[in-house]
Structure 1
Amino acid sequence: MNTDVHAHVLLPSLQGLVQERDPDGFRAAGELELLRNGGPSLAASGAMIQERFTRLTDLAERLRVMDVQGVDVQVVSPSPSHYYPWAGERLAVEVAREANRLTADHIAGAPDRLVGLGLVPLQHPGLLVEILEHAVLECGLAGVEISSTAGDVELSDERLEPFWARAAELGAVVFLHPFGCTLDERLDRFYLSNTVGQPTENAVALSHLIFSGVLDRHPGLKVIAAHGGGYLPTYIGRSDHAWRARPEAHGCADPPSSYLRRLWFDSLVHDPAVLRHLIEVAGADRVLLGSDYPFDMGSEDPVGDLRAAALGAEVEAAILGGNTAALLPTRSGVRP
């Protein structure tokens, strides 16, 4: 079955909850978004969300579009706008639990077509195991979505070790999807905050995972990187050189390029040549169909875009669904 691992649901009631609980924090976060994106980009994004609101929230519309796209199954995660990385512990727990519950409710309407991912409050490492277990064991989700960083927490942070260990033990998917970029106002025009910012954040976050030895210590981790892993796979040779040349870059046991074959990547790279390179460096068994449904930086025809890359029938079938079928835990509502 054709399975799209990168699709989102918007949870308007969750945003309302956050605005009510911490209006000052919500307002400050909006000011930061304006700094990072610039007014024209925020205005365009607002119009885009309004136009696609039904696709983001309505189950029947989701299923209709999936049928048009030739997608049999979607792996649905909350819109990254629901991370709220500035939230304090009490609010962060409430938000993550509510996001998990609402996502589970959404996919329950079509359990043969939808798989869900929840959220965890990355900015509070001590809470991650509890909320991960809530998502997977209580809500029946296949795993969780995380950003590239939150507050002072990078993915190499030692405080995340219990989270990585429990995720591996549960067989839970961890979907790495950045939101925003810490380059801030340098990217505040031309929509650079997304076009450059997202792949930059992916590359930085994956480098933290690799160079810190997280993947050595937790070989059973199932990490999927959105946007094809950003810039890292196309420039991985520089990472290998640093690993050989610099003692402080030798925190992982093997050359960084070898860890691309221990991760998974979605196919959303917008260029057949880049997709073919990703398959070359990561392996055809490590790439999964992804659309970023239904945002405008995604693909309206993910199956057609994949087939346009002319990868051959065997590789195409693996990326369309075979690889995801092997990756997803059987406890989730559907097994592609």
Structure 2
Amino acid sequence: MKIDIHSHFMPPISQAEAARLDPARAPWLKTEGRGGQIMVGDRPFRPVNDLLWDPERRVGYLDEQGLDVQIMCATPVMFGYDQPVARALPWAQLMNDKALEMAAFAPDRLKVLAQVPLQDIDAACREASRAVAAGHLGVQIGNHVGPKDLDEEGLVTFLQHCAAEGIPLLVHPWDMMTDGRMKRWMLPWLVAMPAETQLGILSLILSGAFERIPESLKLCFAHGGGGFPYLLGRVDNAWRHRDIVRQDCPKLPSSYVKRFYVDSAVFDDGALRLLVDVMGGDRVMLGSDAPFPLGEQSIGAGVGEHPTLSAADKSRILAGNAREFFGI
């Protein structure tokens, strides 16, 4: 069995619908046959194809890839975190309802995660609960809201709410840090995106936030945890030798790896081996980042054909961990 826990969708949002959020900055979908363009206001943002919005094509794609289930979540440009909650909440509700409509085409194969207006914690908690009650498996959030990382008090409150209600969370990097130096070659996606994920994880560990969040929280970070697995030894070394690193973190940083999961989207045998060695085979789930070009092109092959992973770890990563995490 194969369950892909990290893939994206974008419904056919019209420019008029997007204008209700923000005429200049909200995303909408301009389509032509099987191709299309995500637009932001009047500007092209990203070329896309109909796998992103057509459920029939998506199910055919699952068949081609040998996937039993694929979990879809918003393309992060849809988050709307920079908008007033009076507009952002109806926007999130609309996107979440459209997601359920897409999944209804094949409810046993297509599953969805909701988005929430994370700039307003009360509204985010209400929408997370509403969406899960309506059929979403959980919620996807960005790794920060403007300058607020995951250790900010309000965001910790949201994580506590999800723990209390048993709502699984996928954290996806977005709005990548850059001072303008990363101009070409998709460097924000190749450099800043993994750094954003590592920043999200370490903000929870080093701030002591995990001490205030119930261990029942089901929390997963996309893209194999970004730079975290490779650089964890550096963090442990800093914790041992610098009191400023220890001041809010009572335990060795590596001891917190059992508080969260990661997906398997690392695209390299050695990287996946390291990821499983750091996290454990019970904390990694198959994730493709489909249907984008930076995603896994043969979904699950990196896990299933890995030369050194055990059969038990492959089985857990391909489906077993996801079934437990999301209750599938």
The one-letter code sitting in structure 2 at the alignment partner of 1:70 is G
User: 1: CA distance between counterparts of 2:264 and 2:14?
Assistant: 29
CA offset digits 1:23-70 (Å, max 9, x no partner): 24549xxxxxxxxxxxxxx97x633x1xx2x10011111111111111
Q: Which residue of 1 aligns with 2:305?
A: 308
Q: Which residue of 2 aligns with 1:37?
A: none
Q: Which residue of 2 aligns with 1:57?
A: 53
1:15, 1:82 within 8 Å by CA — same for their partners in 2?
no
Q: Which residue of 1 aligns with 2:323?
A: 325
The CA deviation at 1:214 is 2.4
Higher relative contact order (CA 8 A, sep 6+): 1
CA offset digits 1:183-225 (Å, max 9, x no partner): 1422221110111121111011111111122222221111111
Q: Which residue of 2 aligns with 1:34?
A: none
User: 1: CA distance between counterparts of 2:180 and 2:286?
Assistant: 32
Q: Which has the higher helix share?
A: 1
**In structure 2, do the counterparts of structure 1 residues 209 and 101 end up closer, same or farther at CA, with 3 Å as the change threshold?**
same
**Matched length:** 310
The CA deviation at 1:22 is 2.1
The one-letter code sitting in structure 2 at the alignment partner of 1:199 is P
TM-score computed with the length of structure 2 as normaliser = 0.89
Task: Choose the corresponding residue for 2:127, options 117, 121, 131.
Answer: 131
User: 1: CA distance between counterparts of 2:117 and 2:241?
Assistant: 36
**In structure 2, do the counterparts of structure 1 residues 14 and 261 end up closer, same or farther at CA, with 3 Å as the change threshold?**
farther
* SS of the residue 2:180 aligns to: helix
**In structure 2, do the counterparts of structure 1 residues 301 and 18 end up closer, same or farther at CA, with 3 Å as the change threshold?**
same
Note if 1:207 corresponds to 2:202: yes
* SS of the residue 1:127 aligns to: helix
Q: Which residue of 1 aligns with 2:182?
A: 187
Note if 1:108 corresponds to 2:104: yes
* SS of the residue 1:302 aligns to: coil
User: 2: CA distance between counterparts of 1:110 and 1:66?
Assistant: 11
Where does structure 2 lack aligned partners over 5 or more consecutive residues?
A: 28-42
The CA deviation at 1:175 is 0.5
Where does structure 1 lack aligned partners over 5 or more consecutive residues?
A: 28-41, 330-334
User: 2: CA distance between counterparts of 1:109 and 1:121?
Assistant: 26
* SS of the residue 1:94 aligns to: helix
The CA deviation at 1:308 is 2.8
User: 2: CA distance between counterparts of 1:14 and 1:222?
Assistant: 34
* SS of the residue 1:285 aligns to: coil
User: 2: CA distance between counterparts of 1:222 and 1:268?
Assistant: 19
Q: Which residue of 1 aligns with 2:262?
A: 265
TM-score computed with the length of structure 1 as normaliser = 0.87
* SS of the residue 1:156 aligns to: coil
**Structure 1 runs of 4+ with >6 Å offset:** none
Query: What is the correspondence of 1:278-297 to structure 2 with a 5 Å cutoff?
Result: 278-297=275-294
The CA deviation at 1:15 is 6.2
Q: Which residue of 2 aligns with 1:176?
A: 171
CA offset digits 1:55-106 (Å, max 9, x no partner): 0011111111111111100111111110122111111111111121111121
2:121, 2:154 within 8 Å by CA — same for their partners in 1?
yes
User: 1: CA distance between counterparts of 2:199 and 2:322?
Assistant: 25
CA offset digits 1:253-280 (Å, max 9, x no partner): 3211121222111100011101100000
CA offset digits 1:275-332 (Å, max 9, x no partner): 1000001000000001111000001212222223221211111111011111113xxx
